[in-house]
């Protein structure tokens, strides 16, 4: 179908843009999608929600031509389609922004955006970089997606990479956009501007399918919401009338406690004391500048901030993965500023890293081998030389059972688990080692709603047990609900420590966007100034 014809159909208001009819997708031993019917009207935003493993991404991969359905048909604007590969899907105007970025690290933003559709000069021989940069910039400006076209992907933050992904699909002129968890890495303000973009796009007649865990977002931006559970469509509801509780129940299949029930803190001794810590990023630029922060026994301290404002580097410095330029770190009363990562782990520091596929798991290892990671030198896992596989297997079995990791087979490779299950495994591994300090960076990123509840409860149990907990999250509701004190980082500075009970989401958003606390109408009492 030509673009002209698509426009004509859009103009004449063909009612249904995407029509999935009885889609079934089987993998050896698993039914990922079971007879799913889905109808998305042109010019609407359709949210697809469900827990990890519910089959959302598989369904969209069928629509996007990555998978061939075992049964069922895909119709676009009423026409039955058979997609051999994503190229075919793109030909009829379907574009997908994946959860895992598909960007070339060593190329620039603009090169990635135009990849496969490069503007050329000199008779098509040479990529016209200037034009690629210009067009990328124009597209970015138009949709308010802030990127620098000439920067390398490997040098920009995860959040910026997400924006490049969106730009890439827009550049290809997609009519039907599928977004897989697009807001996971964005600030509330960025999320709002993304939603503005989405609204603008549907006004132009484009169609959006939006995969998310976040009920609030689905309710806010979508016209209709479809819920998948264990491969089946539970139902499609009108976003106008649906409630969070109703959706959560549809997703999980039972009632879910959405608010964290947090008992009063009983703060003990200072466990972690960071003083004037200055940390540089990989390029040697100061990422965290003279940050001071303390975490006590029985206390959860949260750090909020947009990705790339120095939280990652600060956490890596605390956990021993990055050197401090200046400042000191004291842990359980001992100066550990120059201690190795290994000795920090041995001293009882647990760490759930932000990028689980890079840091916290060896993707090629089975869960059993991953269960050892970080404590391979310590009893009971080894005597320092020989590994005790029996003790390791016991520990891994316990984690798998207690944290409901699926599949339950300890010889499953880490890469074969869904993101949520990977995260549950890591959280379990780190939490169950009786740490005195738990540092959790984005502890629930990519995790389904039932597991989020579980992880939050475990964090609060650790707090109740008198552990010190430091949580970094870009999800504002998460840090505000969990934390006893909430630090906000902007551009390498820890600009405020606020009381999460009283601060509003709007105020937090402004702080994260760089407003100084003194410029806000913040009540002095709500700023707990002294970091320790």
415 part of the interface to other proteins, by CB under 8 A: yes
> Using CB under 8 A as the criterion, what x/- string covers residues 215-254 for binding other proteins?
----------------x-----------------------
Q: Which residue in 6, 18, 43, 67 binds other proteins (CB under 8 A)?
A: 67
* 323-342: contacts with other proteins (CB under 8 A): 340-342
Q: What SS3 class is residue 56?
A: helix
Instruction: Yes or no: say if 505 and 475 are a contact pair by the CB < 8 Å rule.
Output: no
Q: Which residue in 384, 394, 434, 532 binds other proteins (CB under 8 A)?
A: 384
Between residues 87 and 124, which has the closer beta carbon with respect to other proteins? 87
**Of 55-63, 294-302, 494-502, 522-530: span binding other proteins (CB under 8 A):** 55-63
Q: How many CA atoms, within 13 angstroms, populate the side-chain half-sphere of residue 455? A: 31
Q: Which residue in 364, 401, 434, 523 binds other proteins (CB under 8 A)?
A: 364
CA 196 vs CA 145, 188, 262: distances in Å: 11, 12, 34
Number of residues in contact with other proteins under rule CB under 8 A: 66
Between residues 256 and 387, which has the closer beta carbon with respect to other proteins? 387
CA distance 64 to 68: 10
444 part of the interface to other proteins, by CB under 8 A: no
Q: Regarding beta strands 71-76 and 16-27, do their DSSP bridges make them parallel or antiparallel, or are they unpaired?
A: antiparallel
210 part of the interface to other proteins, by CB under 8 A: no
R_g of the chain, CA atoms, integer Å: 24
Q: Per-residue b/e over 187-222, b at no fewer than 16 CB within 10 Å?
A: bbebbebbbebbeebbeebbbbbbbbbbbebbbebb
Q: Which residue in 131, 134, 359, 528 binds other proteins (CB under 8 A)?
A: 359
Q: Write down the least CB distance from residue 211 to other proteins, Å.
A: 10
Instruction: Yes or no: say if 296 and 273 are a contact pair by the CB < 8 Å rule.
Output: no
CA distance 265 to 132: 54
Q: Which residue in 18, 36, 46, 57 binds other proteins (CB under 8 A)?
A: 57
Q: Write down the least CB distance from residue 247 to other proteins, Å.
A: 19
Q: Between vectors from CA 211 to CA 422 and to CA 351, what angle results, nearest 5°?
A: 25
Instruction: Yes or no: say if 428 and 405 are a contact pair by the CB < 8 Å rule.
Output: yes
100 part of the interface to other proteins, by CB under 8 A: yes
269 part of the interface to other proteins, by CB under 8 A: no
CA distance 237 to 223: 9
C-alpha of 412 from chain center: 23
* Phi/psi of residue 23, nearest 5 degrees: -70, 125
> Using CB under 8 A as the criterion, what x/- string covers residues 280-319 for binding other proteins?
----------------------------------------
347 part of the interface to other proteins, by CB under 8 A: no
Residues 6+ apart with CB under 8 A from 187: 159, 306, 474, 509, 512, 513
Q: Would you tell me the crossing angle of helices 129-143 and 158-171 to the nearest 10 degrees?
A: 100
**Of 58-66, 133-141, 469-477, 513-521: span binding other proteins (CB under 8 A):** 58-66
Q: Write down the least CB distance from residue 271 to other proteins, Å.
A: 20
Residues lying near other proteins in the complex (CB under 8 A) are found at 25, 27-28, 30, 32-33, 52-53, 55-58, 61, 66-68, 85, 98-100, 231, 320-321, 340-342, 344-346, 351, 353, 355, 358-366, 368-369, 372-374, 376-377, 382, 384-387, 389, 392-393, 407, 409, 411-413, 415-419
């Amino acid at each position: 179908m030509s673009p002209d014809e698509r426009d004509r159909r859009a103009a004449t208001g063909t009612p249904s843009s995407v029509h999935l009819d009885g889609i079934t997708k089987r993998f050896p031993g698993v039914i990922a999608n079971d007879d799913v019917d889905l109808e998305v009207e042109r010019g609407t935003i359709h949210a697809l929600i469900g827990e990890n493993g519910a089959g959302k991404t598989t369904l969209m991969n069928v629509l996007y031509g990555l998978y061939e359905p075992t049964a069922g048909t895909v119709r676009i604007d009423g026409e039955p389609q058979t997609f051999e590969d994503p190229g075919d899907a793109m030909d009829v105007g379907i574009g997908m922004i994946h959860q895992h970025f598909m960007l070339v690290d060593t190329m620039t933003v603009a090169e990635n955006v135009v990849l496969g559709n490069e503007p050329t000069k000199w008779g098509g021989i040479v990529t016209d970089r200037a034009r690629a940069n210009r067009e990328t910039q124009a597209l970015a400006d138009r949709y308010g997606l802030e990127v620098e076209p000439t920067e390398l992907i490997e040098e920009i933050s995860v959040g910026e990479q997400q924006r490049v992904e969106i730009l890439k699909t827009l550049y290809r002129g997609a009519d039907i956009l599928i977004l897989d968890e697009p807001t996971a890495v964005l600030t509330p303000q960025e999320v709002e501007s993304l939603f503005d973009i989405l609204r603008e796009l549907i006004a132009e007649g484009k169609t959006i399918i939006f995969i998310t865990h976040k009920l609030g977002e689905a309710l806010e931006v979508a016209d209709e919401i479809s819920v998948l559970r264990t491969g089946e469509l539970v139902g499609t509801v009108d976003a106008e009338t649906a409630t969070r509780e109703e959706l959560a129940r549809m997703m999980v299949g039972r009632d879910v406690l959405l608010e964290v029930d947090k008992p009063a803190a009983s703060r003990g001794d200072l466990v972690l004391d960071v003083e004037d810590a200055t940390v540089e990023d990989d390029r040697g630029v100061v990422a965290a500048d003279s940050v001071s922060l303390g975490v006590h026994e029985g206390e959860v301290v949260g750090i909020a901030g947009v990705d790339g404002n120095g939280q990652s580097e600060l956490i890596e410095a605390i956990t021993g993965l990055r050197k401090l330029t200046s400042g000191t770190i004291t842990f359980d009363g001992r100066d550990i500023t120059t201690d190795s990562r290994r000795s920090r782990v041995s001293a009882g520091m647990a760490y759930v890293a932000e990028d689980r596929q890079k840091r916290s798991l060896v993707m090629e290892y089975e869960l059993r081998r991953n269960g050892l990671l970080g404590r391979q030198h310590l009893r009971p896992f080894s005597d320092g030389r020989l590994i005790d596989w029996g003790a390791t297997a016991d520990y891994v079995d316990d984690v798998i059972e207690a944290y409901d990791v699926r599949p339950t087979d300890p010889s499953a490779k880490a890469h074969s688990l869904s993101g949520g299950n990977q995260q549950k495994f890591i959280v379990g591994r780190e939490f169950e080692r009786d740490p005195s300090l738990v540092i959790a960076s984005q502890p629930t990123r990519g995790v389904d709603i039932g597991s989020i509840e579980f992880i939050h409860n475990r964090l609060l149990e650790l707090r109740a047990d008198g552990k010190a907990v430091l949580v970094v999250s870009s999800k504002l509701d998460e840090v505000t609900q969990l934390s006893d004190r909430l630090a906000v980082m902007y551009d390498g500075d820890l600009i405020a420590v606020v009381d999460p009970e009283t601060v509003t989401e709007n105020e937090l958003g402004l702080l994260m966007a760089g407003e100084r606390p003194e410029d806000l109408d913040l009540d002095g009492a709500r700023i707990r100034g002294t970091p320790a």
